[in-house]
């Protein structure tokens, strides 16, 4: 799997409240560009929209430490989605047959490996940003 080097820094800090505040500010910048559902456009998917419908509920289902660990990479994940042309690892969903999962690999500017997962609904063709997480 090819790795994409991002130029943005991961969100600093260890306190969930401070990290979430920065991530929500980044998200509000994205959200303010549209009147409807927030999205970013991806170069890999030929400038198709990637929606955020599942990211925040998925993050809320994790425990406190896991939320902090994942949310720190939010800024890097957005940049990877928007700019990466590298081929992801593609798998069919284990839970439903009409979903496809894409896992992109990225490296921060301080050489930390992280992944971004995008889910595609095969019926509608819509894509959703599911999660971002560092390598363990």
**Is there a contact between 83 and 43 (Cβ–Cβ < 8 Å)?**
yes
Every domain of the chain and the residues it spans: 3-134
Q: What are 33-65's pLDDT values in tens digits?
A: 999 999 999 999 999 999 999 999 999 999 999
Q: Report the distance separating Cα 85 and Cα 77, nearest Å.
A: 14
Residue 124: CB atoms within 10 A of its CB come to: 8
Q: What are 110-129's pLDDT values in tens digits?
A: 999 999 999 999 999 999 99
């Amino acid at each position: 799997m090819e790795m994409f080097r991002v130029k943005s820094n991961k969100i600093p800090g260890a306190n969930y409240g401070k990290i979430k505040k920065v991530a929500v500010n980044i998200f509000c910048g994205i959200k303010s560009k549209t009147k409807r559902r927030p999205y970013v456009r991806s170069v890999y998917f030929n400038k198709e929209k990637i929606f955020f419908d599942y990211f925040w509920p998925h993050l809320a289902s994790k425990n406190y430490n896991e939320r902090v660990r994942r949310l720190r990479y939010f800024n890097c994940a957005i940049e990877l989605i928007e700019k990466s042309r590298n081929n992801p690892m593609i798998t069919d969903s284990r839970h439903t047959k009409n979903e496809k999962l894409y896992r992109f690999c990225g490296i921060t500017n301080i050489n930390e490996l992280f992944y971004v997962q995008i889910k595609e609904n095969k019926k509608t063709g819509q894509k959703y940003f599911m999660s971002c997480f560092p390598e363990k």
